[in-house]
Structure 1
């Protein structure tokens, strides 16, 4: 087994909340030993002097939608694991089956979302399953279990009885259930919690519970009395108390709303990763297309921006689980990998400490989905590390000052990872082949 030694760096222990100078001995894909300062160091094939640098665990994006075209951009950003919240497990098989040390993130994936008629993303396809029949939903959950889904994703037009059936079926297989109620016209966050949903994505459905009858699709002029800029803290606390009773977990994805509300003054730092993302034409075209509808996005979807932030901080302060995700590449300029750094900035802006923000994207994220071999720097865990040139506990923006990434025990520079980005032609060919195979199998 190959050995890697990272010596004399400041190790940030996100579990204990303390930092110390030490060295990390890596053998194969695992952390073999944490060595205290001044102790004798072992020999290694590769040694990295991290003197004056800071070492954090690989970051985890708890809500994104990945594909092969921009998968390396996550790792180049220090994001070594992603939770893919709806898509198709088979379509992602090339990424899921990559070895630990590969230059793409490990993928914890749900399968296609289960939605109600007529389907927010159209009729049933490889990416979504549309039904108002509880038994059909149960069959779909069983199919997803066989396909290897790690959790089940429900979408906003799902009927109550269908949600209840899907949740019940998923629990038979010990699968958690997540839902996105962003455009829900009938169900609220409390409805989902009462029916046994484990995860609320984007803190969606909270506004529908606070303001009965509101949703992004109604005439917003009729709801002009709502002060979205200054959410009702008493109502937020009251509802958070109810959510805590059901042990619901939240992934707020604040960056997806924040980027839209800030447009045209979007967050867009200049670095290697974003320069590479700028060359992905279909992503840029989609984001530019959405800018044409920015007023509608701001007034209907991203209008919950401040409410989402207030709920995230309140729920965390009350003891609830709140983790970091991005919804990449949704809406506008949610840069793959890099958007998570902006999410961490927002965590701090709303009152989290730098350490708490880091924990939301490392140890707390890993624990929330029972990935016990990642998320912190401990002996025996997978060696996913990010070596930073500046201290992120002094300023969370320093998570962007990346010197090296270690993925599954392999050392990378950012530009080395970006060299592995496939062409759009390659990815399109792969996706088209999958679609043809899916349709030929008549899975639906």
Structure 2
């Protein structure tokens, strides 16, 4: 429900900065938190039109931030229903998401920080040029594409693993000139390692990628079976991992490991599945469900990714312990069953499983994510910040799985139940219409064949 003045009484507010739980009243006006006072004291004058919610000591956390997704409008409200109020879209198309990106602060969809189409090298892991990817092999095209993406409204630039090293350097240089950061996915890289990308000035490392190639230079995803067999996948070489991670820390790389991606693939048909009402709505999305079911039949491809899950977790823990910035991301809907919104909760569980405390796990999807994005207005519950919050039935600092125990969500000062948000999921007919409108718009642009 939308109202300009809200009062949340008797809330156990989790301060992700200090790690303390503070019994508080919160006043929200015009979408922002304007006052936080101890619930043991009177709050003072409240506007007569204020809507008051007595939270009865329920727990309040900042709206969650999923730092690695591939967003589509058909499941955007499901993220918000899961308590994910902000996402970082790491490859897609700005034009396709324009309505969501430009939506009001209190809209039922997440706020989006987005890249445009991924910049890869020929022949392209995802095929020929499309609205979502472009394959580049010359300096002029590289610079032109970066400039085009920035003019289109991209918040950052995303490079892929088949892009040649020299082309990657040119993309980074051009992005820097235009004051944009670069993100890399080196999972399928043939020649660029994580440390080489870091030294180029690439800030964001997705999937903890390129690190295994640093450790085993002859290995790639395309390597012969005999090379794969020389690696002890169950017992990561911690000394070498730490050596590589130290270089990344020195270069201030932000690591988004997407452990849930590797973990779900490794579990294969025994994949993690949350028993939540959101899942019933998700099952209605035939395109997503068919996508995952089709992938799960491709066992050889999945095995090559899933076997890396132990290394991925070891790298994540080492990077965190070395003081590097680690943020939570799900890579929804990549791999298999990376459920929109819900997969981020699993990512938080995996952080705890590898040894982080509950508060540190929660920080990876709140304050640490916001700091990495250079956003002071989200990721925390403080006076002056946007009123993005999740009200929980149980304490997530006692059990991180309690982040799924959602009472209601506040997005930009607007209060939503999960049912409210699930009702906002577009119909199949509306989805089809939106896709057609976008594709017609894309074909009318001057970069359709670039």
For Structure 1 versus Structure 2, the TM-score category normalised by the shorter chain is: over 0.9
2:335 is paired with a residue of what secondary structure? coil
Q: Does 1:26 align with 2:28?
A: yes
Residues in 2 aligned to 1:205 and 1:136: alpha-carbon distance in whole angstroms: 25
Residue of structure 1 equivalent to 2:327: 323
Compare 184-193 and 322-331 and name the one that shifted more. Answer: 184-193
Q: Over residues 173-216 of structure 1, what are the superposed CA-to-partner deviations in whole Å (9 max), with x where a residue is unaligned?
A: 21110010111111111111111111110011111111112111
Residue of structure 1 equivalent to 2:159: 154
2:290 is paired with a residue of what secondary structure? helix
Q: Give me the TM-score of the superposition, normalised by structure 2.
A: 0.97
Aligned length: 443
Runs of 4 or more above 6 Å deviation? none
Residues in 1 aligned to 2:218 and 2:144: alpha-carbon distance in whole angstroms: 32
Q: Residue 41 of structure 2: which of 19, 35, 39 is its match?
A: 39
Once the two structures are superposed, the pairs formed by residues 75-86 of structure 1 within 5 Å of their partners are: 75-86=80-91
Residues in 1 aligned to 2:269 and 2:402: alpha-carbon distance in whole angstroms: 24
Once the two structures are superposed, the pairs formed by residues 394-433 of structure 1 within 5 Å of their partners are: 394-433=398-437
Once the two structures are superposed, the pairs formed by residues 209-288 of structure 1 within 5 Å of their partners are: 209-288=214-293
Does the CA contact (< 8 Å) of 1:7 and 1:51 recur in 2?
A: yes
The offset of 1:232, in angstroms, is 0.5
Does the CA contact (< 8 Å) of 1:404 and 1:414 recur in 2?
A: yes
Once the two structures are superposed, the pairs formed by residues 85-124 of structure 1 within 5 Å of their partners are: 85-124=90-129
Compare 338-347 and 116-125 and name the one that shifted more. Answer: 116-125
Residues in 1 aligned to 2:166 and 2:309: alpha-carbon distance in whole angstroms: 30
Does the CA contact (< 8 Å) of 2:117 and 2:132 recur in 1?
A: yes
Residues in 2 aligned to 1:441 and 1:430: alpha-carbon distance in whole angstroms: 17
Residues in 1 aligned to 2:446 and 2:201: alpha-carbon distance in whole angstroms: 32
The offset of 1:52, in angstroms, is 2.7
Does the CA contact (< 8 Å) of 2:266 and 2:305 recur in 1?
A: no
Does the CA contact (< 8 Å) of 2:71 and 2:89 recur in 1?
A: yes
Residues in 2 aligned to 1:159 and 1:425: alpha-carbon distance in whole angstroms: 41
Residues in 2 aligned to 1:198 and 1:207: alpha-carbon distance in whole angstroms: 18
Residue of structure 2 equivalent to 1:392: 396
1:70 is paired with a residue of what secondary structure? helix
Residue of structure 2 equivalent to 1:350: 354
Q: Over residues 18-63 of structure 1, what are the superposed CA-to-partner deviations in whole Å (9 max), with x where a residue is unaligned?
A: 1110111000110010011222233553211111310000000000
Residues in 2 aligned to 1:220 and 1:22: alpha-carbon distance in whole angstroms: 58
Gaps of 5+ in 2: none
